[in-house]
A and B are shown apart, each in its own frame.
Chain A
Amino acid sequence: MSSAENIQTGADMPDAGMLDVAIHRGGGGRPSAIQHYQVPRQENQTVLDIVSHIQHYIDPTLSYRFACRVGMCGSCAMMVNGEPRWTCRTHIDRVVEHNSLEIAPLRNLPVIKDLVPDLDPFFDKWTKAEARHHPSASRHQPMHIQPPDSPERQRADANIECINCAVCYAACDTVANQPDYLGPAALQRAWTLLNDAKDADKEAIWQAVSGGDGCHNCHSIGSCAHYCPNELNPMTAIAGLKQQTVRQAFSLTSVLKKNRND
Chain B
Amino acid sequence: MIDARIYIWQRLSAMIMIPLVLGHLAVMIYAIEGGLSVGEILGRTQGSLVWLIFYGSFVLAVSAHAGLGLGIISAEWFRLTPKIASLLGMAVGLILLVMGSHAIWAVTFALP
Contact = CB atoms under 8 A, between A and B. Distances in A.
Given A177-B76, A177-B77, A246 B3 contact: no
Given A246-B8, A246-B11, A249-B8, A214 B3 contact: yes
Contacts of B4: 210, 214, 216, 245-246, 249
A214 B7 CA distance: 11
Contacts of B7: 216, 242, 245-246
Give the interface SS of chain A, mostly helix, strand, loop or mixed.
Answer: helix
Contacts of A174: 76
Given A246-B8, A246-B11, A249-B8, A178 B76 contact: yes
Interface string B73-106: 0011100001000000000000000000000000
A178 B11 CA distance: 21
B21 interface: no
B71 to A, nearest CB: 12
B3 A216 contact: yes
B76 A212 contact: no
B11 to A, nearest CB: 7
Interface residues of B, number: 13
Contact of A212 (B3, B11, B77): B3
A211 interface: yes
A244 B8 CA distance: 12
Pick from A174, A214, A216, A246 the residue with the most CB of B within 10 Å.
A216
Interface in B1-42: 1-8, 11
A211 B82 CA distance: 12
A212 B1 contact: yes
A216 B76 contact: no
Interface residues of A, number: 13
B48 to A, nearest CB: 33
Interface in A157-216: 174, 177-178, 210-212, 214, 216
B6 to A, nearest CB: 7
A6 interface: no
Interface centre among B6, B11, B76 (most CB of A within 10 A): B76
A216 B6 contact: yes
Nearest to B12: A246
Contacts of B11: 246
Contacts of A212: 1-3, 82
Nearest to B72: A217
Nearest to B82: A212
A177 B76 CA distance: 6
A210 B3 contact: yes
Nearest to B76: A177
A228 B2 CA distance: 25
B1 A217 contact: yes
Interface string A207-247: 00011101011000000000000000000000000100110
Interface of B: 1-8, 11, 75-77, 82
Interface of A: 174, 177-178, 210-212, 214, 216-217, 242, 245-246, 249
Given A212-B3, A216-B6, A217-B1, 7 more contacts: A212-B82, A214-B2, A216-B2, A216-B7, A242-B7, A245-B4, A246-B8
Q: Nearest 5 pairs between A and B by C-beta? A: A216-B7, A210-B4, A216-B2, A177-B76, A212-B3
